[in-house]
Structure 1
Amino acid sequence: MDEQPDLLLALYKSQLVLTQQLCKVMVSARQHWLSLGVELLADDIDEILAARSELCDAQNWPAVAAMWPNAWWRIQQHGVTVLEGFVRTALTNHTTLVIETQQAVRQWQQAVVQALHLAADTMPLHGFWKTTLAARGTVPQTASSALPGDTSFTSLRARTDHEHRERAASGG
């Protein structure tokens, strides 16, 4: 019975491993978002500064008037491109997060099953049956083979149908 703490420890360790893996997945996703955000926003700032530089280098008012709508449109279009990048990245990151979470949970499930399997001999009822069957040297019969007479599904169905017909014929 002193094997029980080993099972609890194994289950606790598997839970800790799952927690660590999920935290690692979340940190990785956040770091990816951070690096992407810095990259895209820095690129957006560079685009705005380039447009400002072009406007500042204009030699006269007609040139500024001609450049301004084009520069404004280019800055806004670049902003839309940045947002599209964020959306694409959101879908990719979400998919990666789901897959990595599924893998972590699958590994946790395997660890739990393995711990339970290793501890099966320490479970009181399992140990009792294993000892009893080993002493007898036999495997217990299934419930249907232990019953007298024919207990197959087809035979039971035929008897039930016959009894139903008899009751119907007798008016009951």
Structure 2
Amino acid sequence: MSGAGAPTLEVDGTGLRVVVVAAQWHTRVMDGLLAGAARALEAAHVEPTVVRVPGSFELPVAAAVAARSGADAVVALGVVIRGGTPHFDYVCQAATAGLTDVAVSTGVPVGFGVLTTDDEQQALDRAGLPGSAEDKGAEAAEAAVATALALRGLRVTV
């Protein structure tokens, strides 16, 4: 696992409308990701709207509606754990491509907090829980807010 090289982002998102879209599969991991995102957004002075969807496959459509409904940033949280079928590959590809498309087509940043792991322990190690090595929910939230602020600067000067 590599957390090395991650930037330290201190952002003030006061006034930003941020929507967190979160899958419901793998409750323990998702609880950690949501808590990490909430901590990061609170530190950034943002009070998010949280929307739950069944799984990671459904994240792009919820993110698209949020982006088109006036969100300044979206944080997408989910987890897909490899199993014995190609289902993992299809869901990971669809979620990644779908969320990328939302960001590019709407101009609204999407913080990517979708864990794609080989097993549950890898997900737990990244979930921001006590004993986790990384907090991907917080990282996704910080990235979404920082990018929204960067884009705000571009829109003012261009």
* TM-score (norm: length of structure 1): 0.24
Greater share of strand: 2
Higher relative contact order by CA 8 Å / sep ≥ 6: 1 or 2? 1
Greater share of helix: 1
